């Protein structure tokens, strides 16, 4: 892969992570951060930087964990609201 493509991947990853940190909505933050981490993991693979791959893969997994947890909590709250209308 040529160096320009690799650099573009690194810049795209940096931009996604930076944009994610401007989000007020935690779900949007985690989704954009997940995308940025995924891009950084790919970038790390391209430049053979295993610490970059490991760190960003871990952060991506953390983002997915919390997104799933938030989704499950939302569904549980909706189900509880249906059962106990106020």
Would you list the domain boundaries of the chain? 3-83
Q: What is the pLDDT of residue 15?
A: 96
Overall pTM surpassing 0.95 (yes/no): no
Q: What is the pLDDT of residue 47?
A: 95
DSSP 1: -
Residue 70 CB contacts under 8 Å (≥ 6 apart), including other chains: 26, 27, 30
pLDDT band at 85 (very low <50, low <70, confident <90, very high): low
Mean pLDDT, the chain, as a whole number? Answer: 93
pLDDT band at 86 (very low <50, low <70, confident <90, very high): low
Sign of CA dihedral 28, 39, 6, 44: positive
What is the average per-residue pLDDT within 17-43? 96
């Amino acid at each position: 892969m040529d160096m320009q493509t690799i650099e573009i991947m690194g810049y795209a990853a940096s931009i996604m992570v930076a944009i994610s940190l401007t989000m007020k909505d935690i779900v949007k933050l985690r989704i954009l951060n997940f995308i940025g981490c995924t891009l950084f993991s790919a970038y790390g693979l391209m430049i053979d930087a295993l610490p970059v791959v490991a760190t960003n893969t871990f952060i991506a997994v953390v983002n997915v964990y919390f997104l799933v947890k938030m989704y499950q909590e939302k569904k549980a709250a909706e189900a509880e609201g249906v059962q106990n209308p106020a």
